[in-house]
Structure 1
Amino acid sequence: MADATPVLPDDKLLAFEQCLTFQEYCELQEERNRLLTMRYAETRLTPAVQLALNAYEAPLNILAVVTDEDPDTIAVLPIIARMVDASPRMQLHILSESDDLMPLAALLPGVDVLNIVEEWVLPQFLVFDDEWELQAQWGPRPAQAEGNLNEWLSRYPEYEKLADDESPVAQRQYAALTTALTYEMRLWYNSSLATACQQEFCDVLLALLQSEENDEEQFV
């Protein structure tokens, strides 16, 4: 049953600010810190994306809901962080699925966040406007990456089964394959997928501006 207590904009701002910035998140990631900061440093925005983000007129608050050890988080999160840093009107905060999900519950009142996070394929990027209304959701990866991932999974069909096997041997094998996938994804994104990721997420944001312009025209 949804909570009948209204959630005020100030409550949502406080909830958002309880989540980590990209720098804070990286500092807590121990061995993954190096990979995340390296991925951020080697991400180069295309001129078109950089121009679009710098000129973006609407303020946006973006919450990334992530799984810490997931290769997609390490591949994609730094790209989105780099994009947000290119815009003077956007900010990014991060919430791990293993953390207290109360900030997400405050941002999505009436939603069973425990169940919905379990259903999502993470990372997911939730885009809120300046009134804390959810305007878009994107993730876990650009569509162009699906072919690469499916090809890798066909080479290692045991990977997804190992994830559900809690035996020590299976978990060691799963960790080794996860590390291999993480470094292979780095190669994918440094070749062409970083550009695809930038453009796809930028298109989501630009579509919001177009929708807002269309709504304004209806009232002219």
Structure 2
Amino acid sequence: MAVLSSGPSSQTSPADPVAPTDPVTRVGADEGGDKSAPRFGWPLPGSPTVVRAFHPPTFRYGPGHRGVDLAAVAGAPVLAAGAGTVAFAGTVAGHGVVSVDHPGGLRTTYEPVSPTVTIGDRVARGEWIGTVQPGHPGCPVTACLHWGVLRRSVRDPEQDRQYLDPLRLLATARVRLLPTDAPAGDTPTFTVTRTWGRPDLGTPGVLSRRRLPASCFGAVAPPWCAAGIPGTR
């Protein structure tokens, strides 16, 4: 099974901040239904900072950065960017990886994470699929989530495939990039603007089995547990 990997990079600093301009319907849109409805969102709570931008390789196995790195904190929940089926949940080269297949031949990958899902699980957009682990190579803050997107051909998914900029999946998101002079070890502040977990699970404030980790219910909850609704802390 092919698993998306961040791969080596020839870049050392993020590009200038550029908001995504392609609506999600241009990248793997569902056939039929509401074409204007966003299918994807951030894989971390709120609007995380991009600390390393997407730089596609010039040839298949060439250097580049096959995704984006998002500022996080160790133990923060990783959310499915869109609805789909878990294609991989395990370890690759010593790092935890989760990959989710979506309609239209898209596969999103998240690393390094400690998975909370297993292969074959169906997940909704915003559903908790793992927790961020430290140790991503080149991360300039306390922890980073590498988020990648691969578009695969239906006829030949292993040979005919293309890495995409994950920010193109976001219909109307404000993108923040870490300044190049930010000191190492800075901890990002999450500003959560939407409810967590499945968006269609009953009354707001009622948590489901994958919505939040147990640490959010302790005496001292991590700051990213607050989602702006009752019962999330």
**TM-score, structure 1 as length reference:** 0.25
Q: Say which structure is richer in strand.
A: 2
Q: Say which structure is richer in helix.
A: 1
Larger Rg: 1
**TM-score, structure 2 as length reference:** 0.24
